[in-house]
Structure 1
Amino acid sequence: MKVLKFGGTSVGSSKNINNVINILVDYSKTDTIACVVSAVGGITDKLLLAGKQAQNKEEAFLETFEGIKDRHFNIIKELNPDNHTAILEFVENKLESLKSLLEGIYLINELSPKTSDKLVSFGELLSSFIIAETMKNRSLSADVKNSQELIVTNSNFTKAEVDYTVTNTNIREYFKSANQKITILPGFISKSKLGEITTLGRGGSDFTAAIIAAALHVEQLEIWTDVSGMFTTNPKLVKQAYPIDKISYQEAMELSHFGAKVLYPPTVQPVLSLEIPIHIKNTLEPSAVGTIISNEETTSSSPVKGISNISNIALLTLEGTGMVGIPGFSKRLFETLSQEKINVIMITQASSEHSICLGIEHKEAETAKTAIDTAFENEIALGKIEPIIVETGLSIIALVGDSMKNHQGISGKMFSTLGKNNINIRAIAQGASEKNITAVINEKDVKKALNTLHEQFFESKTKQINVFITGVGNVGERLVEQIKQQKKYLKDNLKIKLRVAGLSNSRHMIFNEDGIDLKNWKEQLAQGEKASLQGFFENTKALNLRNSIFVDVTANANVADLYAQYLKESIGIVACNKIACSSEFKNYKNLKQLSLKYNAPFLFETNVGAGLPVIDTLNNLIASGDKVNSIQAVLSGSLNFVFNNFTDKTKFYDVVKQAGAEGYTEPDPRIDLSGVDVARKILILARESGVKMNLEDIENTSFLSQAGLKSDSVDDFYKTLIADEAHYQSLYASAKANNCQLKYVAKFDNGKASVSLQEIPEGHPFYNLEGSDNIVMFYTERYAKQPMIIKGAGAGAEVTASGLFADIIRLGND
C-alpha cells in the first residue's frame, strides 16, 4: 500500500486536480492507495478571513463566502462538464451549513478556537469529496473516507494532540475492509474523544498522511507539492537553488522549523521511530526526482545541507545587571510567554547572564512585551532590569546539516561571508549538536544573505559580481562591450559571474537585478527613467545585491562626492574619475578608511596611466616593505600625443584639435593642457606612497600662453591657440636646437612634487616615448640605481576601459 498526500496548490485548480488523478491512476495499477488531500489552494485562508469578518460584524463575510462557493462550483463543473449535478447538490448543502455557521458567528460576535476548527474543516471536506466523486464519475475504483472518523484527539482546538492507540486501531480496521483501490481522505481535520471537530494545526494535512502511513507501516510516505523537493534554499529568492536528493529526518525538521514550507515539522514524528522514508514530489512535474527524507547516510560535498529563513521576526531582549548570578529569571520569562501561548523560535544567552534574547513572531511582539513588563514590574521599578527591548523588521536565517559538527570553520565562513556584504547580525544561536547555526538579520537583507551563503556553500566557487556603471560615454561604452564579450570567459575560466545591474548616462538610467541584457543595452537605456546621481545610488542601495560594485566612468565632482555613501553600504567602487583621490587629503583618507571599515574595496588604477598597472605596482612595493625615494613620470597620454605630433610644420591648434577628435583629451582640453590632470596623477602616486599632500602643494609650471590661461571658455581657448602660435613654436624651436624632445614631466622627490614641460635629451628613457604612451620610473630603496619602469599606452578609451575591467576582475578574485 502507498500513502500519498497532495497539498493546496496540487488541488488548487481543475487542471492540477486532473494531474493528481492521473498520478493516482498510475499508482493504483500496482498498489492500493490512501490519498490525503488539503483544501483547495487558498481556501483555508478565505475561511479564516470570512470568520474574522463575521466576528467583526463586517457584512463582507458574505462576499468572501460567495467567492469560496464560486471557486468550488467552477472546479466541479470543469472537472465534470457532463455529470456534475449530484456533486453540486452535496457541495451546495455543505456550503449552506458553512453559511449558517458564519451567520451564527456574525450574530454572537465571537469566534472561539472550537468554532474556528469547525469553520476551517469545510475546506478539506469539500476538496476530498469533489476529487473522490470526480474519480467515480470516471469509473475509477475510488471512494472518500472522512478522517474525522479515524483520527481521534484531545480537545486542544486548533492544534489537537492525537490519541495514537485509538487512531491506529481505527485506521487499520478501516483499511482491512476497504475494497476500493483509491481512498481519498481529507487532511488536517480530526475529532476529539467527545466527538468535537478538531484540527491538527496549519500544515496538518502532512501530519494526517504521516499518521496513516505510520499506522499502516507502509514502505514510504509521499508528500506531493508544487516544488520538486526540499531545496538547498528558497528558490523564489535564490535562482541557483536546487533540490536536495536525500536528507535526514533531523535535517528535514530543522529546515522545516526554520521556514522551509515544503514540509510541516510534526509530520516527521509518526514515521521517525518506524524509519519510514518520506518522499517529497512535484505534482506539476511528476518525473522529477524530488527529495527522500530518511535515516540513510548521505554523501555530500558540502557539510551544509540547506539554508532556510523565517521572516517577520521580533527580537526580545531582557537585560539588566540585577540578573547576574540570580536564578529564576529565565524560568519566569519563559513561563510568562507560555501563559500567553507565544512560541519561542530562537533563544540566545551570554555566559555573563546579563541578557537573554528571544526570537518570536512579529505579530506576537506587543502581547509579549506587555506580559513580560508586567511580570517583571517590580524588578524594573527597582532598576534591576530594563523594560523589555523589542526590535522588529528582522528575519532568522539558518544553516542546517548533520555533518556540520565534523567540519571546522563553518560558522566562521558563514559570518565572514555575511560581513563582507554588510549584513549585520543581531543575534546568534548554535546548539551543542551543531546541526544548525542560526542568525538574526535585518529583513531587507534576507535575499542578499541567502544568495551570498548559497554561493559560498553550494555553488562551484563561482562568484557573482553585480556592476552598476555611471557614465556610459566613450570609455563607459567600451567597458560595457568588453564585459559583454568576456562574460563567458570569466565564468568558465575565472569562476566569476559578472552581470551589469545598473547603467546611467547624463539623461537616463536603468536597473535590473537579474542583469541587463547587453545585446540591446543602448535601446533600453534610451527608454530608461530620468537620470539622477542620488537616484542611481538609492536604486543601487535598494536592490541590495551581493558583491555590488559602483563603477564611475565620469570626470564629475558630484559623482565623486557620493563615494562615501556607496562605501558605507559596503558597495565597492572602481573609478577612473581622479577627483576623489586628488581632493583634500582629509577626504581621500576618509574614503580609504571607509573602504576598510565597511569591507568595500576602493580601486582607482585608471586614475594614473589608464590601463597600466601603476598604482597596483606601487601598492605592492609599499606592502612588501619597500620605500619610494622619488618618482619621475610622463603621465599624460594626451600631452604626449600633442608634443609627439607638434613640429615646425604643424599648427599647435590643429594638433590639439586632432587629440580631442581621437579621444585623447577631455572635451575641455584646458584640463589636460593646463597640467592640472598630471598634477592630480602625481598627487595620487605621492599619497599612495604614504605622503600627506594636497593639490596646491604641487608646483605647476604651465607652458600655456597668458591668454590661454585666462580664457573663459573652450572656444576662447582655441582662439588663443591660433593667436599664440608663435609662443608654442618657440617652445618647439628651443627643444629642437638643444636636440631634445618636449615632454610634460611629473616629479616627486624628497616629499615635494612638480609638473612642467621639459626638454628631454637624447638617451633619456623619456626621449623616445611615442604616441600617447606613458612612462613611470620608481626609484626606491630596492630600486635605487636602476628604477622600476612601467611603460605603455596611457590614454584612449579602449585601454582605460580595460583598466576599469581589470579592477572589476580583481574584486571578483578577492
Structure 2
Amino acid sequence: MSSSFVVHKFGGTSVGNVAAMNAVQTIVANLTSDKIAVVVSAMGGKPKVTDLLISLVELAKTKQTQEIQSIIDSIEKKHAEAVAELLPKAVGDEIMAQIRHDLNTLQELLHAISIMRSYNENVTELVSGHGELWSARIMTQVLNHHLQLSGKKERFAFIDSREVLTVEIDPNHGPVVLYEITAAKLRARMEAMKNATHLCITGFICSTNEGVVTTLKRDGSDFSASIFGRVLKAASITIWTDVSGVYSADPRRVPEAKILPQISYQEAMELAYFGAKVIHPKTMAPAVLESIPIFIRNTFDPEHPGTRIYHRRPPSPTNNAKQIVSGFSTIDDLALFNLEGTGMVGVHGVASRLFNALDRIKVNVVLIAQASSERSICFAIPAKNALDAKEAIEAAFFKELHHGLIDTVTYEAPVSIIAAVGDNMSQTPGVCSRFFGALGRAGINILGISQGSSERNISAVVRFEDSGAALRAVHSSFFLADQTISIGIVDSRSKVGEALQNQIFQQAQWLAKKYKLDLRVRAVAHGPNMKLHSTGFDPASLAEAKVQKFDMDQFLDHVHAGHIPYALIVDLSNGPEMVEHYPSWLASNCFIVSSNLHVASTNLSLRKTMDREAKEREVVLDTEACLGMGVPVLSTIQNLLQTGDSITRIETSWSSVMNSLLLEIQNTKSSVATAIQRVISTQFSALSPNDIIDDLTGVASAKKMVLLARELGLKLNVTDAKLDSPIPIPPTQSEPWTIAQVVSYVGEYESAVASYSHSSRPMRMTTTLNATGQGSISIQVHNIDDPMHPFYNLIGAQCGLAVHTDRHAPYPLFLSGTSFASDTTKGLAASSLFSSVLNIARTLG
C-alpha cells in the first residue's frame, strides 16, 4: 500500500442524498491506500444547500421572516433525512443536535441583519460555509460506521478547515493561501489526533490569519482538495463528480464528445479558461507545483477510469494533426471590437491607450488580434460591457476620431470564440488547415483568429448563432473518422430495409476498426413516420426511439448534419413522389443510393437536373440496386466506355415474375390463373401487386433498360420502349392493385400466355437495347433454343445481361445473377445496396 496520502474530493452531487453518500462510502471503502484524505462539499441537489444559505442573507436584509424559516426548515429536513437513513440513532442524534445548534446561531445572526437592514461580505462568507461543516460531519460518521461494521481499526478524523487552512485576502486575486502556516496548523492538528491517517475535511471554507472566517470562492471545494493535496504531499488528487471525466467538447452541444483518458495540466487550464466544465485553473495550481496528478471521475460510475491530468506529455514524432488536439471549448456572449485607421500605423502607445481605457472601467479582454500592418486591432470582451467599452474607447481616442485618423469604433455582438486546445500544436503540420477547413466546409464565417505562442491554443471568433454548428464541425474533423457518413434510410421497415439495417449494424464495428469507416444510421423513415438519432442508431436504440411524424425537411436536415463529413440517403421506396426530392437531396450535398425504379421513368429534364446537381456538389446518385441483379452492371458499362470500347447492343432477361410464370406453366401445364397464384405465393409474396403487374407487362424491364440507355448517353424514355408482352398494360386505376385483382387480370389472358407452353424449352421475356444511332428498346417473349445464346441456361427467376461491344465481338460480355424480386433474396438485395454505400465510401476521405 502507498505510504503517501491520496486525496479524494466529493462534490455536491456526490453527497447530495442518501444514495450518493452510500456511493461515496463504497468508493472510499474500496481504496487500497493506507492514508486517505476525503474532502467534501455541501449537500447538492435541487436546491443546493450553499445556494439556500446564501439566499438567507438577502432575505434577512429585506425582513422576509416566513421565507427564512421555510428555508431553514428545508435545510434541517434535508440533513435529518440523510442522517436517519445512514447512521445509528445515537450517532445521528448527536450530529443533528450540532446542526440545529448551528441553525439557531444563524437565525440569531439573520435576525440582527433584519434589524440593521444591511450586511457585508464577511457575513455572507460565514453563513455560506456551514453546508460543508454539516456534510463533512455526516460523511465522517458514515465512513466510520462502515469501518466499524467491517471490523477495521482505522477511523476518519473530522477536520474543520477553518481551523487549519489559512489565507490572506488579496483585493485583485481573492484568497491567497499561506501554505507554511496551513501546513503547520494541519500537522499540529494531526499530531493531536495521534497522527491520524484518515481525514474527512470540509471543503470551500477557510480563515484569514486574523481568524476571520471566509471561503475560497468559486470552485472552492476543488481548490481545497488541491491545497490539502499539496500540504499533505499527496500521491494523487481525485475529483469525484457526476461526469466520467473531461470531455473533448461540451456533450450537450456535441453528441459525439468523448471522455479524454489523459490531458496535461496546461491543456486542462486552456480548456477551463475557454468555458469547459473541467476544473478551475486556480484549483490546479497547488497540484501543478508539486506535480501531483489529478483524476476526474464519476461517483455514479466508479468503474470508469475517468481522465488523468498531469504534466505535459512529450511530443511524439508519430503524432498527426488529428491526434495532437485534445479538445474544444467555447466562450459565448462576447462582443468583438475593431479599432482601425491609418493614424495607428507606426504610432507609439496606441495599444497602451486602448487597454488602459478598458482597464479603467474594469473590462476583461478575452482575445486580442492585431494585423502586422498595425492598421487595426480587434479584441473580444463580454457582450454586457460592450456599450461602456465603446464609450471609453471613443473618449480615449476622441482626437484621432475627430481628425479621421481612426475610423469609427465598431463591434459585433453576440459572438463566440471556438478554441482548439492541444500541446505542441505549432510543431504539428496540418492542425490549422484541418481546423479552419472544417469551419469552411460547414459554411461558418470566421470573424477573427488568434493563436497564442504557447503552442496549445487556436481560436476563431464566429457569430453566436453559428457557435453550435462550428463546435460540432471542428470536433468532428478531429475526433471522427475522415470517412464518417450520416445515413438516412427511406422505407426502412420493408424487408430489404430491415436487412440493410441489420447488415450495417453487424459490420459497423469491423468496418471502423479495419478501414476507419464510420457508418451512422441517424434517420429512418417508413410511411408517415420517422425516427431520428443524434449520434447513430444501434438495434436497441432503434427499437426504443420515439416515433415522429415524417417531415422531409427535418429528415434531410438531420441526415445532412454539418458536423459529420458526409451524408447519404438510401431510398428503398417505390413511388415516384420520393424521386422528386432527389435534386434537393443532391443540392444539399447528400449522396443517394436508390433502388427506386421510378428514377428511370423521370423525364429527361429532371434527370439532367439530378446529374447537374451531382456534378456540381461532387456527390453521386447510385442506381445500381434498381437493376436488381447483385452484380455491378453500371460500373461495368462505365469501365467499358471509359477504356474506349463501343457498346452496340445490350440484351437482358430480368422479368423474374414473367419468367417464373412461363416456367411454371411449362412444368405443370396448369391454368395461367393457378400458375400465377402459385408463383406469387411461393416466390414473390413480398412484391407489391403493382410491382408484379409492371414485371408481367414488361414495364419494369423497360425502366431498367432506360437506366442503361441513359448511362450510354441515349435520350430514351420508358414510353419509347416497344412492349410485346402477352399481358398488356392495364388501364390506370385510382386504387392500388390487390393480389386477387392481379390473378384475375392475368387469367383474362389465358390463351395468350398458354400459347407459350407448347415450346420444347421454357420461354423467356427478354429486353433488347439497340445502342446505335438514337437507340431503341424492345421487349418480347420468345424461345431461347440456341445453345450458344447467353440466356440458354437461365432458369426461372435467374437474371442475365449480355453486353455486345466492338472489342468483345463476336461473343458478348455476359453477367448473371439472382433476382432481388423473390422472397428468398431480400438479404441479397440489401447486400447490393450496402455494396453501393461502401463503393461511395471508398471514394471519400
Q: TM-score, normalised by structure 2?
A: 0.75
Q: Distance between the aligned counterparts of 2:344 and 2:813, measured in 1?
A: 65
Q: Which residue of 2 aligns with 1:802?
A: 831
Q: Which residue of 1 aligns with 2:16?
A: 12
Deviation sequence 1:356-397 (CA, Å, 0-9, x none): 77677xxx53x14433554566899989458422246x6846
Q: Which residue of 2 aligns with 1:603?
A: 622
- For residues 362-401 of structure 1, the aligned pairs below 5 Å read 364-365=382-383, 367-375=384-392, 384=407, 387-391=410-414, 396=418, 398=420, 400-401=421-422
Q: Distance between the aligned counterparts of 1:324 and 1:595, measured in 2?
A: 51
Report the residue type matching 2:723 in the other structure. Answer: S
Q: Distance between the aligned counterparts of 2:762 and 2:629, measured in 1?
A: 30
Change (3 A) 1:247 1:446: closer
1:265 equivalent in alignment to 2:281: yes
Q: Which residue of 2 aligns with 1:613?
A: 632
The alpha-carbon deviation at position 264 of structure 1 amounts to 2.0
User: Secondary structure at 1:749's aligned position in 2?
Assistant: coil
The alpha-carbon deviation at position 174 of structure 1 amounts to 0.7
Report the residue type matching 2:817 in the other structure. Answer: G
Q: Is the 8 A contact 2:655 2:698 kept in 1?
A: no
Q: Distance between the aligned counterparts of 2:541 and 2:286, measured in 1?
A: 56
Report the residue type matching 2:494 in the other structure. Answer: G
Q: Which residue of 2 aligns with 1:749?
A: 772
Report the residue type matching 1:680 in the other structure. Answer: K
Q: Distance between the aligned counterparts of 1:416 and 1:352, measured in 2?
A: 26
Q: Distance between the aligned counterparts of 1:559 and 1:324, measured in 2?
A: 61
More divergent stretch after superposition (661-670 vs 611-620): 661-670
Q: Distance between the aligned counterparts of 1:417 and 1:40, measured in 2?
A: 43
Q: Is the 8 A contact 2:665 2:757 kept in 1?
A: yes
Report the residue type matching 1:10 in the other structure. Answer: S
Q: Which residue of 2 aligns with 1:92?
A: 100
Q: Distance between the aligned counterparts of 1:353 and 1:633, measured in 2?
A: 73
Change (3 A) 1:334 1:96: farther
Q: Is the 8 A contact 1:222 1:278 kept in 2?
A: yes
Change (3 A) 1:114 1:680: farther
More divergent stretch after superposition (634-643 vs 331-340): 331-340
Q: Distance between the aligned counterparts of 2:359 and 2:697, measured in 1?
A: 76
1:144 equivalent in alignment to 2:155: no
The alpha-carbon deviation at position 171 of structure 1 amounts to 0.8
Deviation sequence 1:432-464 (CA, Å, 0-9, x none): 4432445666426756865674344xxxx9968
Structure 1, unpaired ranges of 5+ = none
Q: Which residue of 1 aligns with 2:577?
A: 558
Change (3 A) 1:576 1:66: farther
Deviation sequence 1:271-315 (CA, Å, 0-9, x none): 434434434455567776555433375688866366434467245
Deviation sequence 1:629-687 (CA, Å, 0-9, x none): 54514264337626853878676666665665533965214434555434433443344
Q: Which residue of 1 aligns with 2:151?
A: none
Report the residue type matching 1:95 in the other structure. Answer: L
Q: Distance between the aligned counterparts of 1:97 and 1:254, measured in 2?
A: 43
Q: Is the 8 A contact 1:683 1:694 kept in 2?
A: yes
Q: Which residue of 1 aligns with 2:479?
A: 454
Deviation sequence 1:44-99 (CA, Å, 0-9, x none): 44556667888999986765554444323333444443223443243234335556
Change (3 A) 1:306 1:679: same
The alpha-carbon deviation at position 269 of structure 1 amounts to 2.2
User: Secondary structure at 1:790's aligned position in 2?
Assistant: strand
Report the residue type matching 2:622 in the other structure. Answer: L
Structure 2, unpaired ranges of 5+ = 149-153
The alpha-carbon deviation at position 613 of structure 1 amounts to 1.0
Q: Distance between the aligned counterparts of 2:127 and 2:371, measured in 1?
A: 45
Q: Which residue of 2 aligns with 1:175?
A: 186
Report the residue type matching 1:294 in the other structure. Answer: Y
Change (3 A) 1:248 1:490: closer
User: Secondary structure at 2:90's aligned position in 1?
Assistant: coil
The alpha-carbon deviation at position 605 of structure 1 amounts to 1.9
The alpha-carbon deviation at position 577 of structure 1 amounts to 1.1
Change (3 A) 1:343 1:65: farther
Q: Which residue of 2 aligns with 1:476?
A: 497
Q: Which residue of 2 aligns with 1:121?
A: 129
Change (3 A) 1:778 1:315: farther
The alpha-carbon deviation at position 262 of structure 1 amounts to 4.0
Report the residue type matching 1:74 in the other structure. Answer: E
Q: Is the 8 A contact 1:773 1:795 kept in 2?
A: no
- For residues 98-117 of structure 1, the aligned pairs below 5 Å read 117=125
Q: Is the 8 A contact 1:160 1:198 kept in 2?
A: no
Q: Distance between the aligned counterparts of 1:464 and 1:216, measured in 2?
A: 51
Q: Is the 8 A contact 2:624 2:634 kept in 1?
A: yes
Q: Which residue of 2 aligns with 1:153?
A: 168
Change (3 A) 1:682 1:286: closer
1:43 equivalent in alignment to 2:43: no
The alpha-carbon deviation at position 781 of structure 1 amounts to 8.0
1:771 equivalent in alignment to 2:785: no
Q: Distance between the aligned counterparts of 2:33 and 2:505, measured in 1?
A: 54
Q: Distance between the aligned counterparts of 2:229 and 2:639, measured in 1?
A: 66
The alpha-carbon deviation at position 501 of structure 1 amounts to 4.9
1:254 equivalent in alignment to 2:254: no
Q: Is the 8 A contact 2:140 2:156 kept in 1?
A: no
Q: Which residue of 2 aligns with 1:293?
A: 309
Change (3 A) 1:535 1:451: closer
Q: Is the 8 A contact 1:316 1:389 kept in 2?
A: yes
Deviation sequence 1:705-736 (CA, Å, 0-9, x none): 89745454758886665445555677999xx7
Change (3 A) 1:614 1:116: farther
Q: TM-score, normalised by structure 1?
A: 0.77
Change (3 A) 1:653 1:230: same
Q: Which residue of 1 aligns with 2:220?
A: 204
Deviation sequence 1:562-611 (CA, Å, 0-9, x none): 44555566554322113346534454454455556667654332123442
Deviation sequence 1:520-560 (CA, Å, 0-9, x none): 98x879x9556666675577679987866432211122333
User: Secondary structure at 2:780's aligned position in 1?
Assistant: strand
Change (3 A) 1:524 1:78: closer
User: Secondary structure at 1:579's aligned position in 2?
Assistant: helix
Change (3 A) 1:145 1:738: closer
- The alignment covers a number of residue pairs equal to 790
Q: Which residue of 2 aligns with 1:632?
A: 650
Q: Distance between the aligned counterparts of 1:501 and 1:251, measured in 2?
A: 32
Change (3 A) 1:675 1:110: farther
Q: Is the 8 A contact 1:318 1:389 kept in 2?
A: yes
Change (3 A) 1:22 1:808: closer
Choose the corresponding residue for 1:583, options 602, 605, 616: 602
Q: Is the 8 A contact 2:418 2:470 kept in 1?
A: no
More divergent stretch after superposition (126-135 vs 204-213): 126-135
Q: Which residue of 1 aligns with 2:593?
A: 574
Deviation sequence 1:118-149 (CA, Å, 0-9, x none): 55434334434544576789893613233476
Q: Which residue of 1 aligns with 2:721?
A: 700
Report the residue type matching 2:288 in the other structure. Answer: L
Q: Is the 8 A contact 1:160 1:199 kept in 2?
A: no
Choose the corresponding residue for 1:667, options 660, 679, 689: 689
Q: Distance between the aligned counterparts of 1:324 and 1:510, measured in 2?
A: 59
User: Secondary structure at 2:570's aligned position in 1?
Assistant: strand
1:791 equivalent in alignment to 2:813: no
Change (3 A) 1:220 1:651: closer
